[in-house]
Amino acid sequence: MAPVSAFIDSNFHGGAISLVSAADVRGIELRLRPDNASEFAQWFYFRVYAPRGLEQVLHIRGVDTAAFPKGWLEYRACVSADGQDWRRTETSFDGSTLTIRHTPTTDVTAYAYFAPYSAEDTQALIGTAARDPRVSVDVLGLSLEGAAIQRLTVKDPRTTAGRPPLWLVARQHPGETMSGYFLEGFLARLLDPTDSAAQALLRAVDVHIVPDINPDGSRRGNLRTNFAGANLNREWDRATPEYSPEVLAVRTALEATGAGQLLDLHGDEALPYVHFIPADMPAPLLDRRAKFERALMEASGDFQTEHSSTLGGPNNPRLLSHWATRNLGCLALTLEMPFKDNANRPDPLYGWSPARSRRLGADMISACVVDLVK
């Protein structure tokens, strides 16, 4: 059979790949494209145009030099015909090349490291929530490229206590798109007037949410950094207007309100488990953390405490959660969701997915209630 060529496109929000050759759809040659101003490479998102029904074999070469080479072990790529339903497809890793195989039923197929979350998705999340009279939206500052760092504030008029709010921050690492889906589930339940736990939480504290602290990185398809190459989750005690204004904007708002609890939402490239990263904190906060984790395990079949990563160190004030514990005295936790799957409850069709991220977000309300509602 004569080779059939393909067309590869990644020139859209979040797109990232380097094309070497698309002369043969059964051997498309690709390389990862690093973040625009740093060495980090792992995220990919692109579309393949080729006649339906032909098996597509994609070789992404040199992935052993990616940010997290262990991320390729047992990894399966995400594939979608419509940009909505993202399923896993056959993927192998030989130590340096990631090979993805898929036979599409349409002439255009999207491939991604994980289901993408676009600026339009973020705006829909904000706009949907903002229809609720309890929700206000403001802009905390601008990114290096001038994009708005938006905040949602959920405030029940019946709340009188004036206690420090619950904060959630997403997309410090823009390629960790599961945090957007997490927020969809969290907000849908939080704003459900028939949900008694959500009502109780909102009567106890206001909730402040930053759905995308790194809009430049999200748009450019970066895994971990902003336009200047800053890893925002290593900037909290040293942010500058030139290098990390996104952190300065959110930090100023955080210092203005304080925080009763803070959740920093992430994805873990290597570990196939939902977990909080370890953190040093004073004994009363450790007790709260243990109680919070027990409550989350009860609420969510996906959360566990046996496996966790130690990236960044347990007491590094450059990380948001550690900075917040130290400077705001709050229970601050870095949540990691898997890129691969939850090895305790594997899903052969979807792996870890938008739906499961939403479910975890909804379940998180139950744990927040246990910690914050006295």
Name the site residues for Zn ion (rule: CB under 5 A). 173, 176, 266
306 as an active site residue: the answer is no
User: 176, 184, 293, 336: which one is catalytic?
Assistant: 336
Using CA atoms of 160, 161, 162, 164 in order, give the dihedral in degrees to the nearest 10.
-130
Q: Give me the least distance between CB of 233 and Zn ion, in Å please.
A: 6
Q: Based on CB atoms, which residue is closest to Zn ion, 176 or 371?
A: 176
Please state, in angstroms and rounded to a whole number, the distance separating the CA atoms of residues 186 and 365. 7
Please state, in angstroms and rounded to a whole number, the distance separating the CA atoms of residues 171 and 204. 26
Please state, in angstroms and rounded to a whole number, the distance separating the CA atoms of residues 319 and 279. 10
Q: Based on CB atoms, which residue is closest to Zn ion, 176 or 246?
A: 176
Looking only at the bridges linking them, the beta strands covering 45-49 and 108-112 are antiparallel
Q: Give me the least distance between CB of 32 and Zn ion, in Å please.
A: 17
Q: Based on CB atoms, which residue is closest to Zn ion, 173 or 208?
A: 173
Please state, in angstroms and rounded to a whole number, the distance separating the CA atoms of residues 62 and 56. 19
Q: Based on CB atoms, which residue is closest to Zn ion, 6 or 360?
A: 360
Q: Give me the least distance between CB of 176 and Zn ion, in Å please.
A: 5
Sign of CA dihedral 60, 35, 49, 20: negative
Q: Based on CB atoms, which residue is closest to Zn ion, 148 or 311?
A: 311
If DSSP codes are grouped into helix, strand and coil, which group holds residue 267?
strand
Q: Which residues pair with 207 in a beta bridge?
A: 154, 166
Please state, in angstroms and rounded to a whole number, the distance separating the CA atoms of residues 149 and 151. 7
Q: Give me the least distance between CB of 160 and Zn ion, in Å please.
A: 36
Q: Give me the least distance between CB of 224 and Zn ion, in Å please.
A: 7
* Tokens encoding 282: 């004073």
Element spanning 118, H or E: none
Cβ–Cβ under 8 Å, residues 279 and 321: yes
Q: Give me the least distance between CB of 357 and Zn ion, in Å please.
A: 14
Q: Give me the least distance between CB of 324 and Zn ion, in Å please.
A: 16
* Secondary structure string (H, E, C) spanning 123-155: HHHHHHHHCCCCEEEEEEEECCCCCEEEEEEEC
| DSSP states of 48-117 | EE--TTSPEEEEEETGGGSS-GGGGTT---EEESSSS--EE--EEE-SS-EEEEE--SSSEEEEESS---
Q: Based on CB atoms, which residue is closest to Zn ion, 72 or 134?
A: 72
Please state, in angstroms and rounded to a whole number, the distance separating the CA atoms of residues 147 and 136. 19
**Active-site amino acid positions:** 336
